[in-house]
Structure 1
């Protein structure tokens, strides 16, 4: 099944973008080729750009505090394991303290590294990191893979508190949804959202054998899915057949 996710607000869009970048970074650091490590550095710079948003850190801390208060209200409920509840609250406490103890924005410490910033200033230029532009960086790429990996892990560690917080918040959000099987008639699906609940994320799973691509739109009142099919020339055309998929709304 292919999973598509659609965020209902800008804050969650930022979280999902960061999650994608952080997972990519983990994949690239673990590899050994200099090209992989080049794009690992590029990814670190992209994460720094996203994390530079003025209110991101405060948004994450507020969301952690909100989840803690919600989970605390479940104490004493006989249908909930106290041990599991305590473990999640402890994890949230750890995330809050680690992120809150960081001065400035995530990755800010890296801006004091002139060598890294010289690379960052040129990665946006097509071919801007050639050996004749950045000979020191070119030499670094010829160092043993283990040395490059250690350096990348050290630089990425400045992003770890943000990364852990984002992972935990998204997991809690995704776990809040209940999957349901739905059907699109003639390639179209609409569902009115219940009043009194604010959904943040839509998750859609569809069988790749159907060869269909969902175009999702939504707001606090309604969600709409239009199924499309990609032609050989990569153009998308509306599908006019019935199709089933799995839909999850997370609040």
Structure 2
């Protein structure tokens, strides 16, 4: 099954972008070739760009506290497993404490590193990080793989509380959705939302069908149009019925 996610607002869109960047960063950090470590470092710069657009730290702290208060309200519910609830509450408390302890603006430690900022300034230029542009960076790329990985991990370390917060918020959001089996007749599906506010829609589809969902939504309606690739990978309408699983997620 392929899972497609569509955010209903800019805040969730930003969190999903950062989650995607973190997955890419984690993969390339574990590799050993200098070019792979270059991608890992460039991905940190992309994270810096995304986080600079909003007061993300404050928003995350508010959301963590809101989730904590919501979960505390379930303590008296006999249908809730107390061990699991307490584990999630402890995780929320730990992450909130770590996020509060991370001082300054997100990524400020990176902005204060002149060498890293010089590398960042060249990486945004196509082909700008060649050895004749950045000889010191070229020399760093020839260090042993373990040392390069250690340097990158050290530069990323102050960002860990931020990504722990993003991880648990998106996890709780995904768990809030109740999957339901749906069918899109002739490749098109509409559902009236009647003004109810959702944060994200998750759609799961059998990859063997070759159907690709194009999703648009607001608080009134959800519309999904399925397409498929032709021989040149140009989208064309998928005109058969499409079975899929749908979950509307909201805190």
* TM bin (shorter chain): over 0.9
- Pairwise CA RMSD of aligned residues? 1.0
| Partner SS for 1:183 | strand
Residue in 2 aligned with 1:167?
A: 167
Distance in 2 separating the partners of 1:34 and 1:250: 40
Q: CA deviation at 1:198?
A: 2.0
Provide Cα deviations, 1:18-67, integer angstroms capped at 9, x if missing partner: 00001111111111010010000100000011111232111111111110
Where in structure 2 are the equivalents of 1:64-83 lying within 5 Å? 64-83=64-83
Residue in 1 aligned with 2:118?
A: 118
Q: CA deviation at 1:141?
A: 0.5
Distance in 2 separating the partners of 1:66 and 1:221: 25
Provide Cα deviations, 1:147-197, integer angstroms capped at 9, x if missing partner: 0011011111111010100000000000011111100011110111255x4
| Partner SS for 2:186 | coil
Residue in 2 aligned with 1:227?
A: 226
Question: What number of residue pairs does the alignment pair up?
Answer: 250
Contact 1:199-1:249 within 8 A present in 2 as well: yes
| Partner SS for 1:186 | helix
| Partner SS for 2:245 | strand
Q: CA deviation at 1:136?
A: 0.6
Higher alpha-carbon deviation: 186-195 or 26-35:
186-195
Structure 1 length as normaliser, TM-score?
0.97
Residue in 1 aligned with 2:103?
A: 103
Higher alpha-carbon deviation: 171-180 or 78-87:
78-87
Q: CA deviation at 1:5?
A: 0.3
Q: CA deviation at 1:81?
A: 1.6
Residues 1:36 and 2:30 aligned together: no
Distance in 1 separating the partners of 2:15 and 2:158: 17
Residue in 1 aligned with 2:237?
A: 238
Q: CA deviation at 1:110?
A: 1.2
Distance in 2 separating the partners of 1:54 and 1:190: 33
Contact 1:51-1:105 within 8 A present in 2 as well: no
Structure 2 length as normaliser, TM-score?
0.97
Residue in 2 aligned with 1:27?
A: 27
Q: CA deviation at 1:76?
A: 1.8
Residues 1:93 and 2:93 aligned together: yes
Residue in 1 aligned with 2:248?
A: 249
Residue in 2 aligned with 1:60?
A: 60
Contact 1:2-1:206 within 8 A present in 2 as well: yes
Distance in 2 separating the partners of 1:170 and 1:230: 30
Higher alpha-carbon deviation: 105-114 or 12-21:
105-114
- Mark the runs of 5 or more structure 1 residues left unpaired by the alignment: none
| Partner SS for 1:105 | coil
Distance in 2 separating the partners of 1:229 and 1:84: 42
Residues 1:213 and 2:178 aligned together: no
